Structure 1
Amino acid sequence: MAEHANPYHYGVVVGINRYPGGYAALKGPVADARAFAAWLTDPGQGGLPKANVQRVITQRPFPKNLGEARPTKEVIDDALWASYKALRSQLDAAPEEQRSELRKTSRLYLFVAGHGIMPGGGDAALLDAKAELDRPTNLDLGRYLDWFRRDGLFAEVCIFADCCRGFELLAEPGSPGFGRAGRAPEAVRFLLALATSAGELSFEDATSDPDEWRGHFSYALMQGLGGAAADPDTGYVTSDALIAYARRIVTDRTAGLGSGRQQSVPEPVLSGTLRFGPERSVAEPAANGGPAAPPGREARKVVIAFRRRRRGMVELVAPDGTTQVWDIADGPWTVWLYDGTWYVQHAGKPMHTTGFADDGVFTITGEGRDVSL
């Protein structure tokens, strides 16, 4: 893969942890935003030049009063407008006869994580950091998508939103502050993917590091984009497969959280089929019965012992997100693993690693190792 596989792709990544105007503090959005930005700029994943990605996140020290609150709607709008102008300049600099074809390779990513609402007349909106309970300033994501669809400079638009969608009938939907949209030269392909259904909440999950909490939807999204949602027949992660994967994972992760905490990912708003990341090789089963090693990696024999537990089903999660199951009652687990970071979780409970040493995480490298959890 070329160093920058997608030079005409741009991304604005928003994560808001602090709302001094009265909304509860969050722990996951900044970590979620950083993870998405890392995927975007990974040459083997999103393939964007780092200069094409803007991180608009809550900075430390965290703001304590409303006057210091960032990012605001204006700051987010500025980041989107900067991406718009950068693509326009890039196309203008290309030979005129090539501009139409180059435009067809363009894409805008907007990822947002924070508090959210369903404003009156809108469908899903991110609250900006200056939002107050009686003044919920917001970015209505449907209106932003509509602007970029009508303008058409970007051939593809992908919006991912990990935020709640509680009803706020008196809130005014926040529109993009860009002026009138242009006229799309061709139809725009798009995806608007939301973390939760209308009127429902979106939840975040604790990890061992309090600064690395993750939203359930964001976690599923990153696993899927990383390859777990790849079509086993083609090796591609498509928009349809990605959201189907996220729906399943979020449902599984929140099923046992108790009344009112189940989260359901709705059907996305989309037009056309979009692909994410590179084509991935379709793995053949390994002759040793373990997961197939990626090209250039050798599988090694590893024994996993469970010193703290005597019973229960566990799942071993591979670096690519695939899993296999073991019954602890059967004793130490002998398995062939390739180099990389793996972890063990309680079966059917993604990211639930309570009771395992080192949170169930271990790394295989060189000649491999035996593991005691």
Structure 2
Amino acid sequence: MTTFTKQNDLHFAIVVGIDHYPALADLKSARHDAAQFYDWLVDPAFGAVPPANVITVQASDPVMSIDSVLPTQKQIINAMHHVQCTVRQAVTTDPEAFSRTRLYVFVAGHGITPSDGAGGALLTADATPQLGYHVDLRKYARWHRKNGLFREVFVFADCCRVASNVPYGFVPPFTNEPSGMSTDAVVAYATTAGGSSIAQMSGSGARGHFTRALLEALRGAAVNESNDITLASIENYVGLCLGQDQVADFHPKKTASVVLSLRPPAREVRFVFPRPFYGVVQVFRGDDTGTTHPVAGNHLALTLRPGLYRREGRRRTPAADRTGRASSRPGRASGPVPPHGGQPARSAGQQGRREPRSGPRKR
């Protein structure tokens, strides 16, 4: 298990979001999703990646033609090569630094499944119906496992994986130079092979369902019983959020021991009651450990780390509270504490539910 407590100068990231495809249908949410993931990466309380270590691959505006549109395969490959050279030099200078190395790759845009396997590939901006320029994400993850440049590699892909006539996924053009070190490399797709990734319009613009759930998880909603955010807890939370609309696909599956995020900071959370409440409230974590709090009024303020909690209360009338005799009307509710405090927890009926879609779009 690897954990980190501060910004790490050997954590790197590559972020790609493509909305404009001159020869294909344009998208509305990919660049926004990429920007949101960038914000998580550089936030000292969460990803804690130094901004200088994040490469945001340039994406073109809609006015660009097929001959000048960006990004292409070459741009994305060059970004990967740059971080590879940087970390190779660092580990050559200090071999013990390898244990602190990590690479994040986030991509959003159109996607396909090449016909030679069950992987998933991001179509680059210059792709056409006849020219399926792409980056096959699982093959890049395999290259990193074989060559051992980073201790950990995490790839998140918010794109479709529709079947295509592209005969095979392009392999990484990097030369093989195995370091002898072990790399944990995980690819998390927004959908299963052959499936579609769904986006929708909201008040803040178009958002991909997968990216939205992923960032909620990374910001604290997927904290497990050990107060960590692991790939296993993220996969579980994302699955609850997506429901039956789409099914996320994580590879490999045995990732429970990998701690992906810093432990999120505790925040003040207010439980608001619809009318004055007199009695006691017990707040339980997922492992059923809990605390008891007396309440006399309309709210209860607690300092909690983000995660899933269950709350139970036993109500007393004002008169009964003075005599110590409890009312026979117990109260019970449950829900997750949001990643940012100050809002009431959602009820059990809202757990994992998405807002109604308005004009869903598939990538």
Match of 2:263 in 1: 279
Partners of 1:246 and 1:70 in 2: CA distance: 30
Please list the CA deviations of residues 331-366 of structure 1 after superposition, one character each: whole Å capped at 9, or x if unmatched: xxxxxxxxxxxxxxx786424599xxxxxxxxxxxx
* Deviation (angstroms), 1:2: 9.2
Q: Give the 5 Å matches for 1:289-304.
A: 290=300, 292-294=302-304
Distance 1:2 1:50 in 2: 17
Looking at structure 2, the residues matched to 16 and 117 of structure 1 have their Cα atoms a distance apart, in angstroms, of 14
Displacement after TM superposition at 1:121 (Å): 1.2
Task: Give the superposition deviation at 1:208.
Answer: 2.0
Q: Which amino acid aligns with 1:132?
A: T
Larger RCO, structures 1/2 (Cα 8 Å, 6+ apart): 2
Q: Any idea what the Cα deviations from partners look like across 1:241-290, whole Å, max 9, x if unmatched?
A: 11111111111xxx4xxxxxx31113432554321221247876683565
Aligned to 1:131, which of 127, 134, 147? 127
Specify which of 182, 199, 206 is matched with residue 187 of structure 1.
182
User: How far apart are 1:4 and its partner, in Å?
Assistant: 4.8
Q: Is the 8 A contact 2:152 2:183 kept in 1?
A: yes
Deviating more after overlay: 107-116 vs 265-274: 265-274
Question: Following the alignment from structure 1 to structure 2, what is the Cα–Cα distance between the partners of residues 173 and 238?
Answer: 29
Structure 2 counterparts to residues 134-149 of structure 1, below 5 A: 134-149=130-145
State how far apart, in whole Å, the 1-side matches of 2:183 and 2:4 are: 26
Unaligned 5+ runs, structure 1: 256-261, 296-314, 328-345, 355-373
2:238 aligned partner:
246
Matches of 2:237 and 2:105, distance apart in 1: 20
Aligned to 2:39: 38
- Whole-Å separation in 2 of the counterparts to 1:19 and 1:54: 21
Q: Which amino acid aligns with 1:177?
A: P
Structure of greater Rg: 2
The answer to whether residue 17 in structure 2 is matched with residue 15 in structure 1 is yes
User: Offset at 1:175?
Assistant: 2.0
- 2:154 is matched with which residue: 155, 158, 161? 158
Query: Which of the residues 350, 356, 371 maps onto 2:354?
Result: 350
Q: Which of residues 329, 338, 354 is equivalent to 1:318?
A: 338
Query: 2:143 is paired with a residue of what secondary structure?
Result: helix
Name the residue aligned to 1:341.
none
Q: 1:31, 1:213 within 8 Å by CA — same for their partners in 2?
A: yes
Letter in 1 for 2:263: E
Moved over 6 A (4+): none
Amino acid at match of 1:226: R
Q: Which residue of 2 aligns with 1:219?
A: 212
Relative distance call for 1:270 and 1:158 in structure 2 (3 A) is farther
Q: How far off is 1:10 after superposition?
A: 0.7
Aligned residue among 237, 240, 262 for 2:229: 237
Unaligned runs of 5+ in 2: 267-284, 306-334, 359-363
More strand by share: 2
CA contact (8 A) 2:240 2:352 kept: no
Shift of 1:229: 0.3
Give the Cα separation in 1 of the matches to 2:223 and 2:236.
Answer: 11
* 1:174-229 residue CA offsets vs partner (Å, 9 max, x unmatched): 22222x221142321121111101111111021124xx311111111000000000
C-alpha distance 326-174 of structure 1, shift in aligned 2 (>3 A): closer
Q: 1:203/1:57 Cα in 2 relative to 1: closer, same or farther (>3 Å)?
A: farther
- For 1:66, the equivalent position in structure 2 comes to 66
Question: Residue type matched to 1:12 in 2?
Answer: I
> How many percent identity over aligned positions?
30
The one-character-per-residue Cα deviations of 1:34-67 (angstroms, maximum 9, x if unpaired) are 11111111111011111111111424x4344101
**Distance in 2 of aligned mates of 1:270 and 1:185:** 23
Give the number of equivalent residue pairs.
Answer: 297
Paired letter, 1:81: H
Post-superposition CA distance 1:301-344 (Å, at most 9, x none): xxxxxxxxxxxxxx9973449832399xxxxxxxxxxxxxxxxx
Contact (CA 8 Å) 1:9, 1:106: kept in 2 or not?
Answer: yes
The 2-side partners of 1:62 and 1:286 are apart by 56
How many angstroms does 1:169 deviate by?
A: 3.3
Distance 1:316 1:239 in 2: 18
Structure 1 position 204 matched with structure 2 position 199 = yes
In structure 1, what is the Cα distance between the partners aligned to 2:337 and 2:17? 27
Q: Sort the Cα spacing of 1:80 and 1:86 in 2 relative to 1 into closer, same or farther, 3 A.
A: same
Check whether the contact 1:12–1:53 (CA below 8 A) recurs between aligned residues.
Answer: yes
Contact 2:113 2:194 in 1 (8 A): yes
For 2:14, the aligned partner's letter is V
Which residue does 1:172 correspond to in 2?
168
Do residues 88 (structure 1) and 80 (structure 2) align? no
Separation (CA, whole Å) in 1 of partners of 2:348 and 2:138: 44
Structure 1 segment 97-108 matched on structure 2, within 5 A: 99=95, 101-108=96-103
After TM superposition, the score normalised by the length of structure 1 is 0.72
Distance 1:73 1:55, change over 3 A: same
Does the 8 Å contact 1:286/1:292 carry over to 2?
no
RMSD: 2.9
Q: Does the 8 Å CA contact 1:194/1:265 hold for their aligned counterparts?
A: yes
Q: Do 2:4 and 2:262's aligned partners in 1 also have CA atoms closer than 8 Å?
A: no
Is this contact kept in 2: 1:3–1:43, CA < 8 A? no
